[in-house]
């Protein structure tokens, strides 16, 4: 069996067209969604991600601001900037590109962002809202995974999903989103004994670890759906996921490639969240004028 490839690039393109239409409509009301990105230091990978977010925001017609600081900036100064952005009417989404230099406490910064502008979905209030099934900004990567599965028309009810990785930004929230869709969820992590025993039972495997070649054909049940969140460099320096793609694709039912899988969805869902925040803001403005 050769797996059907879930084309994240194509799905992202379709979602971006929908966003462009909505931004165009908003602009007719003299209102433009705005995203502010804070970049600290000169981490090359962070700069690449930030450039890509900015490029996408621009493509979608959004107002976007990049605020750059040297790594010597203090936490106090960053908190003051976040406070200013929280009160900036032209900004509806704020994100601080991680990782940050060691002297800055990431949690303090994330918690300083207004939950109403937390388009990364990292603020504890949004995480709590998501966990309790309330309306929230969903973390962009797991959100993107769910949208991909929706696009291929997969019914998740009763499916056994094994999530490999339990980070706060990918693994943990991914499990919660599957649970909400009535899937049965198993979490695996670095202390899991015999990973393959678990993954082999899964209808859907989501790998969010950061280890090239971790998931092989021996980890997969024939016909399973394999979602590869990992982003690694192979020995030739080429971008690759956690999944041994060539062999797993011959056994799985569906598979996401790297690049061109989950990655493009993450940025798209960030834009979707920014649009959602802008819509909320516009509605509030209109209601306050009634």
Catalytic residues: 53, 97, 120
**CA–CA gap between residue 23 and residue 162 (Å, rounded):** 37
Min CB(259)–ligand NDP separation in Å:
9
- Which of 166, 198, 276, 281 touches ligand NDP (CB under 6 A)? 166
CB of residue 196 to ligand NDP, shortest distance in Å: 10
CA 234, 166, 103, 120: dihedral to nearest 10 degrees?
90
Query: Between residues 28 and 191, which has the closer beta carbon with respect to ligand NDP?
Result: 191
Give least dist CB 241 to ligand NDP, A: 8
In angstroms, the CA 102 to CA 161 distance is: 35
**Residue 121 sits in the site that holds ligand NDP (CB under 6 A):** no
Alpha-carbon distances, residue 157 vs 6, 161, 178, 184, 256 (angstroms): 20, 10, 9, 8, 21
In sequence order, the 6+-apart residues with CB closer than 8 A to the CB of 112 are 79, 82, 83, 86
Q: Is 134 in the site for ligand NDP (CB under 6 A)?
A: no
Applying the rule CB under 6 A, the residues between 184 and 203 that interact with ligand NDP are 188-192, 195
Q: Which of 139, 171, 253, 257 binds ligand NDP (CB under 6 A)?
A: 171
Q: Which of 146, 208, 215, 220 binds ligand NDP (CB under 6 A)?
A: 208
Query: In terms of DSSP H, where are the helices of 113-165?
Result: 124-131, 140-151
Instruction: Return the range that interacts with ligand NDP (CB under 6 A); candidates 27-35, 84-92, 127-135, 207-215.
Output: 207-215
| Rounded Cα gap, residues 95 and 39, in angstroms | 9
- Site residues (CB under 6 A) for ligand NDP? 141, 164-167, 169-171, 188-192, 195, 208-211, 214, 229-232, 262-263, 266
């Amino acid at each position: 069996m050769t797996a059907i490839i879930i084309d994240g690039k194509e799905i992202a393109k379709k979602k971006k067209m929908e966003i462009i239409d909505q931004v165009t409509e908003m602009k007719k009301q003299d209102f433009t969604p705005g995203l502010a990105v804070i970049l600290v230091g000169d981490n090359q990978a962070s700069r690449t991600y930030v450039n890509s977010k900015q490029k996408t925001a621009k493509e979608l017609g959004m107002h976007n601001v990049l605020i750059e600081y040297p790594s010597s900036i203090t936490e106090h100064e960053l908190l003051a900037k976040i406070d200013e952005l929280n009160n900036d009417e032209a900004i509806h989404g704020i994100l601080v590109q991680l990782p940050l230099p060691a002297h800055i406490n990431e949690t303090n910064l994330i918690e300083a962002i207004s939950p109403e502008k937390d388009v990364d979905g990292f603020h504890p209030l949004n995480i709590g809202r998501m966990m309790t099934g309330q309306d929230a900004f969903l973390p962009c990567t797991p959100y993107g995974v769910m949208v991909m599965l929706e696009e291929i028309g997969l019914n998740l009810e009763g499916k056994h999903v094994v999530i490999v990785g339990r980070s706060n930004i990918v693994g943990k929230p991914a499990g919660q989103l599957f649970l909400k869709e009535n899937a049965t969820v198993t979490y695996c992590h670095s202390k899991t004994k015999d990973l393959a025993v678990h993954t082999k039972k899964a209808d859907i495997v989501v790998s969010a670890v950061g280890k090239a070649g971790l998931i092989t054909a021996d980890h997969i049940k024939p016909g399973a759906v394999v979602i590869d969140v990992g982003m690694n460099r192979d020995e030739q320096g080429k971008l690759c996921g956690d999944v041994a793609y060539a062999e797993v694709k011959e056994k799985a039912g569906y598979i996401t490639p790297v690049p061109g899988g989950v990655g493009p969805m993450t940025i798209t869902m960030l834009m979707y969240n920014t649009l959602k925040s802008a819509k909320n803001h516009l509605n509030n403005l209109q209601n306050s004028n009634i």
